[in-house]
Amino acid sequence: MEARAAGPGGAGYNEALLHKTILVGDSGVGKTSLLVQFDQGKFIPGSFSATVGIGFTVMLLGDSGVGKTCFLLQFKDGAFLSGTFIATVGIDFRNKVVAVDGVKVKLQIWDTAGQERFRSVTHAYYRDAQALLLLYDITSKMSFDNIRAWLTEIHEYAQKDVVIMLLGNKADVSSERAVRTEDGASLAREYGVPFMETSAKTGMNVELAFLAIAKELKQRAMQPPDEPRFQIHDYIESQKKKSGCCAFA
Ligand SMILES: Nc1nc2c(ncn2[C@@H]2O[C@H](COP(=O)(O)OP(=O)(O)OP(=O)(O)O)[C@@H](O)[C@H]2O)c(=O)[nH]1
C-alpha cells in the first residue's frame, strides 16, 4: 500500500520515501498539539485555534473511494486530483481559515481512511471532532447503504453534540447515478442532519459544505444567547437555491 502524498504541508517531497506516522491516544493527551508543533514549529497553549479567532476540527468520513481526499483538496487548493486512486492510510490533515461574518474561523480538517482495516485508528480521533462530513458516492449504492453503519459508529465514538452533514459526492457523474437525490435527502431527514449533493471534481457545493459547518460552529461558540440561532438547514437550502446549477432537493 502506497501512502498518499500528504504530510503536514502537503506536496514537495519524494513519495517513494514517504513514511506516515499515526498519532493514537485518548482525547486531550496532546495529539493535535504535537501535530501543530510539527506543522507550525510552535506550541499554542489552550487550543490550536489560538492563532486566529476560533478554530474547530472537522472530520471527513465515509467508505473508501467516495472522494474524501479529493473533496478536501478541492476545498483547500481548488484543484481536483484525478487519475489513479491512492487510498489514504490512517489519517491526514489540512488547515484552512475561512471568514465567517467577519470572524476568522480556522478549520483543521482530518481526512480519514475509509478502508475497514484503519477503522480502529480513526475511532481514536472521533471525540476530538466538532463536526463530521459523512460522504457517500452517488454512483455506489453500497457506499450509500453503509451510511447507516457509519452513523451508528458516529453515535458510539463521537461527541454527543457533534455537527453532522451528509454529502452525496460525485454528483457530476450523472450517467452512473445509483442513488437518487431523494433517497439521500430522505435518509438525512430521518437522522435530522443537513444534506446536499457535491462534486469534488467540479467543486459544486464543496465550499458551501465547509462554510455551513464553520457558521454553525462559530455561532455555537460565539453567539450571544439572545440572538436568533443560526439554522444550518435553512442556510444550506437558501445557498443551494442561489446557485442555479447545483440546486438539489
Ligand atoms: N467524477 C468524480 N470523481 C471523483 C470525485 N471525487 C473523487 N473522485 C475520484 O474517486 C476516486 C477516489 O477518491 P478519493 O478522494 O481518493 O477517495 P477517498 O474517499 O479519500 O478514499 P480513501 O482514502 O480510501 O478513504 C479517485 O479516483 C478520484 O479521482 C468527484 O466528485 N467526481
Each residue's pLDDT tens digit, 43-82 = 655 554 444 468 899 999 999 999 999 999 999 999 887 7
pLDDT band at 244 (very low <50, low <70, confident <90, very high): very low
Q: Whose CA is nearest to atom 8 of ligand 1?
A: 67
* SS3 label, residue 26: coil
Rounded Cα gap, residues 184 and 57, in angstroms: 25
Q: What helix, strand, coil percent values describe the chain, rounded to 5?
A: 40, 20, 40
In short, whether 177's Cβ falls inside 6 Å of ligand 1 is no
CB of 188 shorter than 6 A to ligand 1: no
The predicted-structure confidence for 72-108, as pLDDT tens digits, reads as follows 999 999 988 777 677 777 778 889 999 998 888 999 9
Instruction: Report whether residue 70 contacts ligand 1, using a CB cutoff of 6 Å.
Output: yes
> pTM for the complete prediction?
0.79
- Round to whole Å and give the CA distance between 173 and 227: 41
- Residue with the smallest CA separation from ligand 1 atom 3 is 170
Q: Whose CA is nearest to atom 2 of ligand 1?
A: 170
Map grid coordinates 491512492 to a residue: 86
Ligand 1 atom at minimal distance to the Cα of residue 85: 27
Cα dihedral 193→197→202→208 (10° resolution): -30
Q: How far is the CA of 154 from the centre of ligand 1 (A)?
A: 22
